[in-house]
Copies of this chain bind each other. A is one copy, B any other.
Amino acid sequence: MLNELSPLARKLGAFVALSDAEHALLMRLHRRRKVFFAGRDLVHQGQSEHTAYVLAKGWAASYKVLEDGGRQILNFKVPGDFLGLRSVLLRISDHSIEPVTDIEVSEIGVSDVLDAFNENHKLATAFLWAASCDEAIMVEHLVNIGRRDAAKRLAHFLLELGARLSLVGIGSKAGYDCPLTQYLIADALGLSAVHVNRCLRQLREYGLVTFTGGRVAFIDHARLVEFAQFDPAYLDHSAPKLR
């Protein structure tokens, strides 16, 4: 049932109860389904022409590069997530987006979205909600980098991804398939890849979690949650549905 909905309708439907008319309205916002290949950026930092997407299949990373060549990954995007939502109303995009795997996306007509606000205010509220959820994840990422040591940071990161994937049905407390390299994780956590490797070993030796062969396997989920001080409240998408 839900699977027949577009990714956009599924995303926003988590927040507002959508009527048939609203579903029809959402359909008009879609352009076409598109495919991008791993490593070829869809959005470039500094570009002024924007399109927003909803990720239907695969993983992507939003990131910012510094003048000195370093880069910071802001967030990994998994199926169901928006790509480029924040840039919709900003004059130039403040970040780039790179597919980690080959991905499929639904393109969204930005000006159509803004026009649709005129017809239906619930839609506007739903977009603001989606933006707020994205920001909550960013904020927790900030806390993670600012205040946790490397091992806890990594543990928290693996737990967050697991929780987010569980929300869209492709992960559980047992684990999940994860296409990220240790280099990507390092760029996300503000660490070196070497140290990510050491921390992974540490978590493995503690009997908490393993990450090998593209699979994250939680060995002792409860103890890992405690170790990382992971509180998933910020991922709570069960917002009170609007009338």
A residues neighboring B (CB under 8 Å)? 15, 46, 64, 66-68, 70-72, 74, 86-92, 94-95, 114, 117-118, 121, 124-125, 127-129, 131-136, 138-143, 145-148, 189-190, 229, 231, 233-234, 236, 238-240, 242
Q: A98 to chain B: closest CB distance in Å?
A: 16
Known: A90-B239, A121-B124. A74 touches B233 (CB 8 A): no
Q: Which secondary structure characterizes the binding site on chain A?
A: helix
* A46 closest partner in B (C-beta): B233
Pairwise interchain contact B236-A91, C-beta atoms closer than 8 A: yes
Bound complex: CA of A121 vs CA of B123, how far in Å?
Answer: 10
Pairwise interchain contact B121-A118, C-beta atoms closer than 8 A: yes
Pairwise interchain contact B134-A124, C-beta atoms closer than 8 A: no
Residues of B within 8 A of A70 (CB): 147
Residues of B within 8 A of A68 (CB): 229
Pairwise interchain contact B136-A139, C-beta atoms closer than 8 A: no
Bound complex: CA of A231 vs CA of B72, how far in Å?
Answer: 15
Pairwise interchain contact B89-A239, C-beta atoms closer than 8 A: yes
Option from B46, B72, B86, B125 in Cβ contact (under 8 Å) with A147? B72
Bound complex: CA of A128 vs CA of B125, how far in Å?
Answer: 9
Residues of B within 8 A of A66 (CB): 143, 147-148, 229
Pairwise interchain contact A147-B90, C-beta atoms closer than 8 A: no
Interface centre among A95, A128, A189, A190 (most CB of B within 10 A): A128
Residues of B within 8 A of A15 (CB): 89
Pairwise interchain contact B128-A239, C-beta atoms closer than 8 A: no
